[in-house]
Structure 1
């Protein structure tokens, strides 16, 4: 028996994920009331419409997000984002998370989820400022260690106070997908679970929201 733990934020109209990017617009394309004209009495449907950028809520970055010739969402095979053996690395006391946090751990082929606790600031101004991030050395270590996917419950896996993006550059350059804006990592064991974060199969698109979750033995 397993239990499922949701690791993704709810997408809501007007929600700001990243300052400077538009919030999603969620509305009816066809309302229930308007649909009644198309069906027999007592039958109605709603067709929803959403307008949003790919970087909304909890999302997965594919290499195409960083590299024009990189794999896009449609190129990422399910085996790379579904049922991955997972490991949680705890770093609640750090802003700059270095390679030393990952040393001595078997990371090869695993979804490496970095628990910073920053998700507690979600939907507040504090979420965007002085957030935890991976150093360039840490990203290089994860690539060398063979991580299959890297996730973090912070505003960005890189330090947004600068214009450089070494974690995205190194990880996506090595074909390692990134899952950002996660939540609930405090509910996971340090290891021994399966992780899934599958995006829709969209061509020529680099980033899209996912329903990230873990399967944990009950």
Structure 2
């Protein structure tokens, strides 16, 4: 039996999804009422209009997000987004070791080659609260270097940024994206993932000149 576990946040009109950046606008381009004048009686359609920044909801970062010469969402092969072998790393407060920084020691015992590595911190419990933006868990530069060297193909986290945002440097983004290790941020429900293997999918639109975009991220879990 195969189950699909949604790991994405819902995107709604007017809600702020990244502090300091504008909320999405979701509205009618053509309403159902107005469409009736265009079609035969009994036929109507809705065409929506969406305006949003690319860092909205649950999203994936491609190299172009950090580097002008990096691949955008259109240039990345589809295989880099779909049905990736994946593991979850439980770096929650309940594990007793984590403060804000999640360093390489959390990963050294793992075989991450060719894998999507999803870091479960439990921070998604603060989603849509002021606390979500302050003191969030993040990876360290040595964690990023270890994951890159060990062959991870994607690293995801269920907090507001995979980097420490208290300063102006972003070493985790810089290290991973320079080597085409994709990043997924603002994931959710990682507590529901199995400790055993599963598959991970997070596909953005095929956009030229865009390095970050919202995704419908999900896990495919096979149950005996």
TM-score range for the pair, normalised by the shorter chain length: over 0.9
Instruction: Deviation per CA, 1:90-142: give whole Å up to 9, x if none.
Output: 11122100000001100000000000000000000000000000001101110
Aligned residue in 2 for 1:120: 125
Could you tell me which runs of 5 or more consecutive residues in structure 2 were left unpaired when the two chains were aligned.
none
Aligned residue in 2 for 1:12: 12
Aligned residue in 2 for 1:89: 89
Moved segments of 4+, more than 4 Å: none
Residue 174, structure 1, aligned to residue 179, structure 2: yes
Q: Is the 8 Å Cα contact of residues 99 and 141 (structure 1) preserved in structure 2?
A: yes
**TM-score, with normalisation over the residues of structure 2?**
0.96
Number of aligned residues:
218
Aligned residue in 2 for 1:32: 32
Residue 160, structure 1, aligned to residue 138, structure 2: no
Q: Is the 8 Å Cα contact of residues 27 and 48 (structure 1) preserved in structure 2?
A: yes
Taking the aligned partners of 1:190 and 1:71, their CA distance within structure 2 comes to 32
Could you tell me which runs of 5 or more consecutive residues in structure 1 were left unpaired when the two chains were aligned.
none
Aligned residue in 1 for 2:48: 48
CA RMSD of aligned residues (A): 0.6
**TM-score, with normalisation over the residues of structure 1?**
0.99
SS at structure 1 position matched to 2:48: strand
Instruction: Deviation per CA, 1:159-195: give whole Å up to 9, x if none.
Output: 1111110000000011011000000100001231000
Taking the aligned partners of 1:73 and 1:21, their CA distance within structure 2 comes to 21
Taking the aligned partners of 2:167 and 2:92, their CA distance within structure 1 comes to 22
Q: Please, which of 130, 145, 154 is the counterpart of residue 149 of structure 1? A: 154
Q: Please, which of 102, 107, 112 is the counterpart of residue 112 of structure 2? A: 107
SS at structure 2 position matched to 1:27: strand
Offset, 1:5? 0.1
Taking the aligned partners of 2:201 and 2:41, their CA distance within structure 1 comes to 42
Offset, 1:217? 1.1
Aligned residue in 1 for 2:69: 69
